[in-house]
Amino acid sequence: MRSQDDEDDDVETRPFDERASDVFSAISLNTKNDADCMEYALLEIVRTQTLELGGIEDAFARVRRREEALQAQEALNASTSSPTMSDGASLSALALKCDELATHRRELNEKVARLDPVRSHFVLDVLRKNTSEMHKLAKTKRKLFQASQQQLIGVGR
């Protein structure tokens, strides 16, 4: 009976925020924020994989835009009928740029060729697993939230 009286006195004398802080600390120690850490790790894996695949796609888009700009410049130079000394220099610069872009495109194609199709399936499987893990974590976080809510209701009484 004495411990119940001590607990009641504690509820009456300690401020609410102090009691709530103790409850949150206990909850945090109980779960060690596992759900949050795991969710963050899964999101980081998804982000990294997406960036890697998106980086290759972006590189191709940049090369395509530069090739189109060079083709437009070549068409513009071809439409001018009087060849001068500066036109010869600009034509050689355009040819050099075209060679650079062709080399860059070959390098990108080699990167894509080195990508293992099995790796793409692996990335898809990992994304699928991560999605199901995040779903489980969301359920776990919901249960933890409800347990925290019940504990706070208990502290408030």
Phi/psi of residue 131, nearest 5 degrees: -65, -45
Higher pLDDT, 137 or 20: 137
Instruction: Give the CA-trace dihedral at 102, 108, 112, 114, to 10 degrees.
Output: 100
Q: What is the tens place of the pLDDT at every residue in 92-139?
A: 777 888 888 888 888 888 877 776 666 667 777 777 887 787 788 778
Is residue 33 left, alpha or beta, with left meaning phi > 0 and alpha meaning psi from -120 to 50? left
Domain count, the chain: 1
Domain limits at 134? 2-156
Mean pLDDT of the chain: 72
Tokens (6 digits) for 117: 């199709």
pTM exceeds cut of 0.75: no
What pLDDT sits at residue 74? 79
What pLDDT sits at residue 99? 86
| Residue 108 · residue 60 · CB < 8 Å | yes
- Report the distance separating Cα 73 and Cα 54, nearest Å: 29
Higher pLDDT, 99 or 36: 99
What pLDDT sits at residue 57? 74
Share of the chain above pLDDT 90, in %: 0
Q: What is the tens place of the pLDDT at every residue in 70-93?
A: 888 878 777 765 555 456 667 777
Higher pLDDT, 2 or 79: 79
Question: pLDDT category, 1, cuts 50, 70, 90?
Answer: very low
